[in-house]
Amino acid sequence: MRRILLLALAVTLVLAGCTEKTKEGGGGKGNGAADDKRPAEVAGIPTATGTHKQKLEVGTPGHREYLLHVPPKLTKGKWRNGKPAKPLPLVLALHGGLSNMNGFRALTGFDKVSNDKGFLVAYPNGFMTTWNAGSCCGAAKLGNIKDVDFLSKLIDKLTGAGLADAKRVYVAGFSNGAGMAYRMACERPDKVAGIGVVEGALVTPCEPGRPVSAMIFHGTADRSVPFNGGGRRDFNDSRGFPPVSYAVDFWRKTGRLPEMRRHVRAEGGAECSSTGKGTRGAEVTFCKIVGGTHSWPAGASRTLWDFFSAHPQG
């Protein structure tokens, strides 16, 4: 009887050892279950579904802040060796002047589109509520704040962590933030697949060296950044803004694209025309909002995402 008990104990120990090996990956499929587990953070970035306030050191006194919205697709997706099996697209959403990351998050509703479609959204904070978009605007311009470097470092952090796809990074902005989106496309076209510009102007020297897809919204009754140009560029700069047609033609010619021909109607009553895709995959779409003022159009966030999703970096 004692011999039978000893034999049963030995068998139990062997089976327990096999089970432990399977848990550690020794007897499981592929990399094993342990390798598929989602970590709470990657490179200090939370991976749980929701919106997280983050800090980014930029090599100067103090730090910069941003909100990062993580959709369920990242949290519940497949993971390998502590990183997503497939990184997600990233949208940088830049607030207008005298606003902030929290206000723009509420204004645009990008979180909901992100949850529905499966992409990351980062809402960075400007410097004293402004962005240095070139010859505009306010404190960021006066302080010569290196916003291009800040946004580039933010992109590098999220792509370097394996969370965001470096070939599918997009910048969307409103007003002063729209001007900053233009500047990113001008100075870091290698990091930006496409931009979405709402009620903004191109007010920075621009030699991108490669085409960037652009979707541009502008209201005909905008008094802050007039549709046909004019107004006042900044509190200490009486020059007017260039007309929206200047930016549309610039990006169209940069991409060696034809005149606008294809007409579509977007959400919110915008009248949109497009060049179609060029030989290098870039496209320019312009959406005129008849009677539209200096505001974020209804449905613009979803329309911008539909455009972005069709234009990965070539």
Q: What is the pLDDT of residue 34?
A: 43
H/E stretch holding 102? helix 101-108
CATH number at residue 259: 3.40.50.1820
Share of the chain above pLDDT 70, in %: 87
Find the distance separating the first CA and the last CA of the chain, reported in whole Å.
74
d(CA 138, CA 127): 9
Range of the domain at 152: 42-309
Q: What is the pTM of this model?
A: 0.88
pLDDT digits (tens, 9 = 90+) for 53-93: 999 999 887 899 999 999 999 999 999 999 999 999 999 99
Q: What is the distance of C-alpha 80 from the center of its chain?
A: 24
Same domain, 65 and 3: no
| Same-domain check for residues 87 and 5 | no
Q: DSSP 3-state assignment of 237?
A: strand
CA angle 227-230-236, nearest 5°? Answer: 130
Q: How far apart are CA 171 and CA 133, in angstroms?
A: 13
In this structure, the answer to whether residues 8 and 114 fall within a common structural domain is no
In whole numbers, what is the pLDDT of the chain averaged over residues?
89
In a domain, 314, yes or no: no
Structure tokens at 217: 């919204």
Query: Which pLDDT tens digit goes with each residue over 7-44?
Result: 343 434 333 443 333 222 333 333 334 458 999 999 99
Q: Are 308 and 120 in contact (CB under 8 A)?
A: no
- What is the domain count for the chain? 2
Nearest to 203 by CA among 182, 219, 184, 177: 182
On whether residue 272 sits in a domain, the answer given is yes
Asked if residue 85 and residue 224 are part of one domain, the reply reads yes
| Residue 28: Cβ-neighbour burial (10 angstroms; 0-12, 13-18, 19+) | middle
- Alpha carbons 307 and 274: distance in angstroms, whole number: 11
pLDDT in tens, 197-243: 999 999 999 999 999 999 999 999 999 999 999 999 999 999 999 99
Half-sphere exposure of 138 (CA within 13 A, CB side): 16
Residue 146 or residue 10, greater confidence: 146
Q: What is the DSSP string of 168-231?
A: EEEEEEETHHHHHHHHHHHH-TTT-SEEEEES----S----SS--EEEEEEETT-TTTTTTSBS
Residues 3 and 134 in one domain: no
3-state secondary structure of 48: coil
Structure tokens at 251: 């990006």
